[in-house]
Structure 1
């Protein structure tokens, strides 16, 4: 494009820095100016700067020295600095393949030729950035603060990288307290996490059981390949309700007489016993008569639903049985609750009562003098126990004399007896 309508020809010069060859140089400097111009006529010229590389160039400074006879009127863009006949343009960062054009307008009133000289300075370098990171290993552990000894204990482990770099080879180990075991029977929970990026978390949940009561502090440890460790602990109190059961009743009862039994269940533990059920199983010669406290009889058992027993609390119930034959009333009771039970026994001997009925009947009555009379003597046990050492003794009046006798055993006769 012609600079002014009167310019017949344009001079173009260029130089590639630093080798002079575009293919192997870093920056190209080009100048476009009129070949000739009349004195006193305004004219302009261009300076073009091109980045020949595929990288950003830093701190480029283009310096233009004007001939003494040249008077500049405008420069686009404005130079970064101007001192005398020298102007400079500074580019802090010149992008790969970037191009900048500087336009200078002015004139001269002298007949001398004008010679412009420009220089360019730049910095080149190869930069790489190494990030300085600081990963941070954080371990949290949660477990219930209180459980029953029968309860499974859920434990949650969470490992987090709250730092700025990735951690490798992250491992978690949880040595359970003495007496604790997982479902697989081991006392150590171990988990392999591997790599953990910044802000990333991984969680693991497992269950353990305690074989004893007490207060347990359980500590877990997380490690990583760089030597960093983190610890976390949780405190769990393991409790157990304890039940005791007493049962009292008579040692002896006669057949048909009621036997009353008293049963008392007590929570001797330090936590409430829940869902308490008392069952009294009747065996032997015992038969159910009645039960107090809403006891329910079925299938030879009396059952009471006692609900919840607070620590130290007791509940007492009664049951009445009867023996219809000689033997023993064998009675065993069991009280159960969640995580607790107890047993108690009581037995009663059922005895019978011996009672004799004696009957004497004369078969022929009256009789003639000299005739024989027969007497039938019957002994009846009308009691509930065997009669022992039974002996029948008959004494005849003086008007009668003994003739003969018969019965289940031998007899002996002496005089009138």
Structure 2
């Protein structure tokens, strides 16, 4: 609401040509205010007529603590003015009060109608006072509106005691805001006497005939504004300068207008593995003003993905969101199969607010491993058996932390493996890291069997979020007989008629036993059979000595036979031994030479 206040202040200025008026008899209820030594004082009688009294001369200066309150004239005695309305909400119109009026005159002021005269039962309050007198003889007249005990605005008018004819002088009007609020649209109008020739003002005034007008747009809390007016008295008559002030007090009814607005953000991973939960975050924010009540978030999930409790829809209650407030929710989802899952969420409120998030797409992938282990189907005992293990990711997701484990078969005498293999109990372990889709890695291992039989080699590959896979290879381990025939004469050379002994040794250096080992010896014409002995019995047939078959010769075993002969004639004699076994497809022969001399 805006009110335009008008107040009347009758202020008598000390621009006097001669002495002061003495108080008349009977004026017992008059008000008296000293203005200072050497100045003047004003009195108000019961008829509200101010008079001026000369004070004793003194150079000391005094100030009254405050201006006396004024009596506002009844509204009926003054003209009315329409208020200025400057509010968005149309206020009720009220009649305005008269303006503040301050005058300076040498003549007593007459009552301005019966409306200014208070009832006999009320105490008369003066309309204005001199509150100080400066050292030069000037005086300050002040008025507080609307009452001295409830002041909004104070007007101080500093006037000289007297001025010289046709000599420039100046006086000051100061307006002060006594409140902690902003006063606006203040208009100060100074109506100057016809005997006053205006020359200048600071700030510059608007001239409207014999009126000087200043407009103050606003006056801050406890602030003041001063106006200095300069001119010349053109007549010896007393000057009467009238000051009128109007202002606007703004009183507005404020209705807070709010507009809550929702914003929703959905955060989901671009990719996820089938085996792991998918965390989705929802952030709802009230980006407007005022509270948004009963806010709810709903996300209808696509087929193939669901909440942790098996539901196909996410429903979140955010409650009431104050202006600028956000709330975050995290939800764990799980996919039933691989694929791309897209959805967007909606946030709503009790009053129909809506906000839709941007659609998010999560590609659910899965690594799928295969393993292949290759090696020989058969190998001889004691020979290393080499295996190659290949792991392949045929899925569409990365196989993280891929591991290959190979079980060490029993009966192994030696192990060799590619770099990176680690022993862990009865296993060899390779850590291969991440195997991207459609890529493979290979490792190798060799085992040396220590016995005949079947060698079972089994390998397993596993990775994060991938099913483990296993492959095995069986290798038949067989021994091999490796017999060696050796013939040595113990005496060489031999004199004619002397004897020497041939030693026949058969060694099995293989990994398997050999059987039916048979030795046949042949003597040339320079030698004569004497005797034989050994692992089996021998018999002579002509120049040939045959030993009965040896049934079995185990690996690393030896069998020995001996044949004693006599030298018949000088020269180089030859002794030949032939060996037959089950493992040998062809016989093995060994010949020893002996020198016979006379």
TM > 0.5 fold call: yes
Q: Which residue in 2 is equivalent to 1:84?
A: 209
Q: Which residue in 1 is equivalent to 2:271?
A: 146
Stretches of structure 2 that go unaligned for 5 or more consecutive residues are 1-12, 21-39, 43-49, 51-69, 74-96, 99-126, 128-145, 480-511, 517-550, 554-598
Asked if 1:214 is matched to 2:339, the reply is: yes
Q: Which residue in 2 is equivalent to 1:119?
A: 244
Retained in 2: the 8 A contact 1:60–1:90?
A: yes
Q: Which residue in 1 is equivalent to 2:541?
A: none
Query: Which whole-Å CA distance do the structure 2 matches of 1:265 and 1:46 have between them?
Result: 103
- The verdict on how the C-alpha distance between 1:51 and 1:75 changes in structure 2, with shifts beyond 3 A counting, is farther
- The verdict on how the C-alpha distance between 1:31 and 1:305 changes in structure 2, with shifts beyond 3 A counting, is closer
Query: Which whole-Å CA distance do the structure 2 matches of 1:3 and 1:114 have between them?
Result: 9
Pairs within 5 Å for 1:156-305: 156-160=281-285, 163=287, 165-169=289-293, 172=297, 178-180=303-305, 188=314, 190=316, 192=318, 194-198=320-324, 203=328, 208-224=333-349, 227-246=353-372, 264-281=390-407, 287-288=411-412, 294=418, 299-303=425-429
Report Cα offsets for 1:101-141 as digits up to 9, x if no partner: 55545554546565444433333331255565655544444
Is the radius of gyration larger for structure 1 or structure 2? 2
- The verdict on how the C-alpha distance between 1:346 and 1:74 changes in structure 2, with shifts beyond 3 A counting, is same
Match of 1:63 among 174, 186, 189: 189
Report Cα offsets for 1:129-172 as digits up to 9, x if no partner: 556565554444444333333455454544455x5635434555
Q: How far apart are 1:71 and its partner, in Å? A: 2.4
Retained in 1: the 8 A contact 2:406–2:428?
A: yes
Q: Secondary structure at the match of 1:124?
A: strand
Q: How far apart are 1:347 and its partner, in Å? A: 5.9
Q: Which residue in 1 is equivalent to 2:471?
A: 344
Query: Which whole-Å CA distance do the structure 2 matches of 1:318 and 1:150 have between them?
Result: 32
Q: Which residue in 2 is equivalent to 1:313?
A: 440
Retained in 2: the 8 A contact 1:262–1:317?
A: yes
Pairs within 5 Å for 1:374-393: none
Stretches of structure 1 that go unaligned for 5 or more consecutive residues are 358-380, 384-417
Q: Secondary structure at the match of 1:232?
A: coil
- The verdict on how the C-alpha distance between 1:96 and 1:259 changes in structure 2, with shifts beyond 3 A counting, is closer
Q: How far apart are 1:239 and its partner, in Å? A: 1.9
Q: How far apart are 1:356 and its partner, in Å? A: 11
Q: How far apart are 1:350 and its partner, in Å? A: 9.4
